[in-house]
Structure 1
Amino acid sequence: MKEPQINLRDYEYTLPEDRIAKYPLEKRDDSKLLHYKAGNITHHRFYNLPDLLEEGMLLIYNDTKVIPARLIFQRETGAKIEIFLLAPVSPSTVIPEIMLAKHPVSWETMIGNAKKWKDGEILKGRVQHLGKEIILEAKLLDRERKLVEFSWSPFDVAFVDIVESSGEVPLPPYLNRKAEEEDKSRYQTVYSKKEGAVAAPTAGLHFTEEVFLAIRKKGVKESEVTLHVSAGTFQPIKVDKVQEHPMHSEQIHLQRSVIEKCLEQEGKTVAVGTTSVRSLESLYWYGVKLIENKGEEFFVEKLFPYEIREVLPSKKEALQAVLDLMDSTGQTEVMGSTEIFIFPGYQFQMIEGLITNFHQPGTTLVLLIAAMIGNDWKSVYQEALEKDYRFLSYGDSSLLWFD
């Protein structure tokens, strides 16, 4: 696959401020749903999704759960310091493990009002958990890396309980508002399970139990991946050469069952959200790495798919390579991380359809959409603007088919 030349200006569009959905609709599946297939666009509601899917299709969604990653501390002087959790460092870099820790943990963070946090100063806060008061302390270990150690007393509760009891929902910066009580449930999919994301996989916010029941009745199969969405998903592209944009690394967990379902799938596969796409495509490239004897570590570098190869392994060959490794090691899941950068010129290996919201102009997410439907992304977005669709995280949705 050859690395193409990309002009970022070709992926910009004008998004009026009043088209950004600041709040969710009262009912999740009342959102609009734009359907794109072979150049044709039709308009629906999300509760019509089952009518647009066919028996035998495979729907794959991301079951990550957003953690309240904004921790607010107040100095004795009254100044507030906000610590935003980004990536775990110690005692483990694996998110599920560190969330269950009952001893000090350290994270790379973003720090608001950092200049007011003196070197050596320990910030303290009081946390109420199940009627018990817990003292939470934060210590700045490395100002340049923004590395913070958290400890608490007593240590009979896990770090996830501390965060759930004291943190605030990490709403995207473009909403320009503080998190409210409603966001605790609405900035979360109904199927979220595994804590670790600092941003929601927003394509899934439209699903309801009624939609799932109708999908199952239709004979559509389901499976799930886990990709813990990082704050880097909101990072704008600031470089002239798009390929030099520093892609965020995100942790992926895949059960054997989803790999087997993808291997056996004869009909179309539909990913719910760009994070599910990145998970599935990364799984394919992990299999390619195994076939090419490039090590057993599950890590997909951002431009690895664009390395020139005479012949690419088939989807089945790549997935079988992963399963063979799992058989030899006794693993029931694979865990790794990915920086995969999907932009125009990319050859999709794992999906035919994508459910996704409408994204900010000039971002990696728009590039992914353009990789899937080519220049038609412009007509899709123009149509959505003309038909009063709501944009971004709490906005409306689309179902796009790879042509």
Structure 2
Amino acid sequence: MISRKKMVLISVIAAMTTGVAGVFAGKLINIPFGNTVLVSRDEYSELVDIYDKYGKLDVMEDYIDQNYLGEYSSDQIVDGAIKGMFSALDDPYSVYMDADEFKQFTEANSGSFVGVGIVVSQNEDDMIEIVSPMEGTPGYKAGLKPGDKIIKVDGVEYSGSQLDVAVSNIKGEKGTKVKLTIIRENSDGKQETLEKEIVRDKIEVDSVKSGTIEDSIGYIRLSSFDETSYEDFKSHLDELKGKGIDSLVLDLRGNGGGSVSVCADIADEILGEGTVVYTEDKQGKREYIKSGPDKLGLPLAVIVDKSSASASEILTAAIQDMKAGTIVGTQTYGKGVIQVVNDLPDGSGFKLTISEYFSPKGRQINKKGITPDVVVELPETVESIGIDAIDEDVQLQKAVEILKTAR
């Protein structure tokens, strides 16, 4: 016989499974009989299988309850167990967040938050790596660079698996200071440890900037794909066309990605009719995102770097595959997987990788990145990039040279 405690655990697990996936919905039919509940033999066997699979959790919680010296709550135990489940996937993009962490995650993706303004990720070495500092933010002004590894926040060490906790502590009240200890690899391959004390500020993401080069070459800097990026991109593009530009530079350096639907809308303004990207899930099911007949109709050069990730790589790969422009710069980041984001009734939530992106020609983006048509390294001595720093921005200079040749 299964003990009462075991049956309670089984019931809880079954209820959780019903709530999240609906697996047991309509299957566990029980009949009350006094203080006993009767189930069929098949259902009983299924419950025993569930307990055999998850009973270790019950045993360990009992042991902790009877022996652990410190204080803890059952919520901590449950959250920790679920975090462990996601951590075991060994996927830096799949993560469970408790209620506080999920709230902070939601705020960080709303386009406005208080922090230092950096995009970070857990890398393959289980370290917190800076993908890109957002232009004009405290982190950018402090000299943080793509590829820097954050090892401490205010003197406390963090690994990549503690990314969410570290991010939570990097954020804070406007005007307060945070000290980041980073490891940076120099051009000679040697590592140095640096400390950066940065004053937190409200981060407003201005994702689109534009201007002209030599009057006739348009320039658009797209730093992210957020909710307003398409409308802003279209507005800037129309304004540049109104000035009579005959070619365009699209600068995606430091763009860590964002909304794929926004990326698709922007691609629709550039590519002409065809496939922007397709996804493939665990079952091999494919979904295609297509662009319409409209196209830019101008010579195009796209600049990318190792911080160009996700949606940036989708757009870059589509432009390259469809020969809609020339890609300039360095190898991109290589993030080509999709996460579903779900909230749970208690305010917690999770991200889970469910499918992968492929370019129109079927090229894999994840862990590979996009190789530019023209590779141009940016010297370490260059402190600024973009239209205001064109005198030292050799990647932008090369893009302009290519466009002049294409006229």
Give the alignment's TM-score, normalised by structure 2. 0.30
More contact order relative to length (CA 8 Å, sep ≥ 6): 1
